[in-house]
Amino acid sequence: MGTTSVDVLTIGAGGGAYPAAFRLASAGLTVVMVDPKGVMSGNCLAEGCVPSKAVREMAHHMYRSVRFREFGIEGGSAVDYARIVLHKDRVQKTRYAQHQKELEAMSNIRLMKGHARFLDAHTLLVDHGKGSERIKSRYVIVASGADIFIPPIPGASRCLTSRDFFSLNPSVTDIPESLAIVGGGYIGVETAAMYRILGSAVTVFESSEEILGGVETSLVRELRSLLDPSIRILTEVSVDEIRKSDCGFEVRYRKRRGPEGRESAMEVLFVQKVMIAAGRHPVIPEGTERLGVGIGSRGILVNPAMQTAVPHIFATGDVNGITPLFHAAVRQSIVAAHNILGGERSCDQFDASSVPTTIFTIPAVSYVGITEDRAREQGLSVLKGEYRYSEDSRAQILGEPGGGIRLLFESGSLRLIGGSVVGVDAGNLIGEIGLALSGGMTAYDLARFADQHPMASEGIGKAARSLL
């Protein structure tokens, strides 16, 4: 078997890989991207953020149109789910075609369909089904992402996952009459919110005290007050078994704390479908463990330059578990590219503190930077600027007065260090707040800016002015 030599090999061709591949190729380096899917873009487009939001936006539209019925605007009657799936599939195909064109327009990059594993720190074997190819690379970017974690619950492997709902030509083509979701993290709760609106009777099973672990307590509390109250959320429960029954599934569970702090008796919920949404785990390519790069509980360990303990090996995106979000992977990918181009010295660093997160429930919740909980834990002295949507013109126009905007400033300098939005336009507004935060802006800067009226963004300036 011959060996091909390249400057850079990326393991994966998703968000952690292709921005670097393009940056490096345009600087004249030869790049190979390896991915078993054989297409550019990873799980986000294949079964994650893009297709789930294509369905979510339809559900959100329905949520609004149901409310607008009182003004004589029809909508929200029968849902043609097959057409929603068609729309989702079309979005995915459009984006795949777009990425293909981008790739074709770029010289120096080869996308190989296959599975990569390390033979040594510079040599990888790419298995492409009908054989394999050995590639030697000066640099390697490990961007192999994360995969769905299936917990060891008897029967769990027979259940649905987000893949069954959101991949191209998904196996779920009807809205389940009843849906049990095992896991109250962001995927579980987003799915619960959208399928409840689309018509499923939804029950979420969460083993912790509260859903959305890791999210600021006050935000979760506020979100819960705005979520459709008919979504059944069971916390502190352990699902013991999922059995197939004649017309669906039996979810066997116990309330973890009974009146005396003991487990309660087994209870059973009968549902048509069960979805497992119990988290994701990093995908560590075979052979990585022999290289001495360092692997922690969340994934491959890296410094802020995205470099592992082996200086020519970088790890970007979900595989390092720092901020498992597509846009963070993109930024990390560019950081890795800059540091490869920069040689021995790190010339760019990833700043996790300014990456915005949105939980696309209906309504959504967004946040960036430091949270109130964390500020309190760290004993930081902060000032909070607040704006409630009950006062907001756009929220009133839409008839969605719940939630609002909160900004946290370092006391003294009044530098923006954190922000959150619950409700109207949360996913958009957090971009403006995140940009202000990463640019080091203060309450004075935000207060001076003439945010547009009558848009929810004017609440950002108002929240800042509430302190001045």
Q: Which residues bind ligand ADP (CB under 6 A)?
A: 11-12, 14-17, 34-37, 42-44, 115-116, 143-145, 283, 285, 317-319, 326, 329
Residues 123-141: b if buried by 16+ CB within 10 A, e if exposed? bbbbeeeeebbebebebbb
The three-state secondary structure class of 339 is: helix
Considering the complex, what minimum distance in angstroms separates the CB of residue 39 from ligand ADP?
A: 8
Q: Which helix (H) or strand (E) holds 151?
A: none
- Nearest Cα neighbor of 85 from 172, 18, 6, 17 is 172
Report the nearest approach of ligand ADP to the CB of residue 255 (Å). 36
Q: Which is nearer to ligand ADP, 216 or 318 (CB)?
A: 318
Q: Of 234, 223, 229, 283, nearest to 256 (Cα)?
A: 234
Question: Rounded to the nearest whole angstrom, what is the least distance from the CB of residue 336 to ligand ADP in the complex?
Answer: 11
Select 129 or 412, whichever has its Cβ closest to ligand ADP: 129
The length of the chain is 468
CB of 40 to ligand ADP, least distance (A): 9
Residue 242 or 319 with smaller CB distance to ligand ADP = 319
Task: Compare residues 275 and 319 and give the one whose CB is closer to ligand ADP.
Answer: 319
Nearest in space to 12 (alpha carbons), one of 123, 113, 156, 129? 113
Q: How far is the CB of 282 from ligand ADP (least distance, A)?
A: 9
Strands (E) in 310-381, as ranges, are 313-315, 357-359, 365-369
CB nearer to ligand ADP: give 143 or 426.
143
Which helix (H) or strand (E) element contains residue 33?
strand 31-35
Residue with tokens 């760019």: 348
- Supply 37's token pair: 């899917």
Nearer to ligand ADP, 66 or 168 (CB): 168
Instruction: Identify which of residues 15 and 183 has a Cβ nearer to ligand ADP in the complex.
Output: 15
CB of 193 to ligand ADP, least distance (A): 23
Tokens read off for 340 = 């490869």
The nearer residue to ligand ADP, 200 or 308, going by C-beta atoms, is 308
Pure H helices in 267-315: none
Least distance from ligand ADP to the Cβ atom of residue 369, Å: 22
Toward ligand ADP, which CB reaches closer, 91 or 283? 283
Cis amide bond preceding 363, omega within 30:
yes
Q: Which residues contact 123 (CB under 8 A, 6 or more apart)?
A: 3, 134, 135, 136, 137
CB of 217 to ligand ADP, least distance (A): 28
- Residue 111 C-beta: closest distance to ligand ADP, Å: 11
- Does an H or E element contain 176, and which? none
SS3 (DSSP) at 92: helix
The CA distance from 419 to 345, in Å, is 33
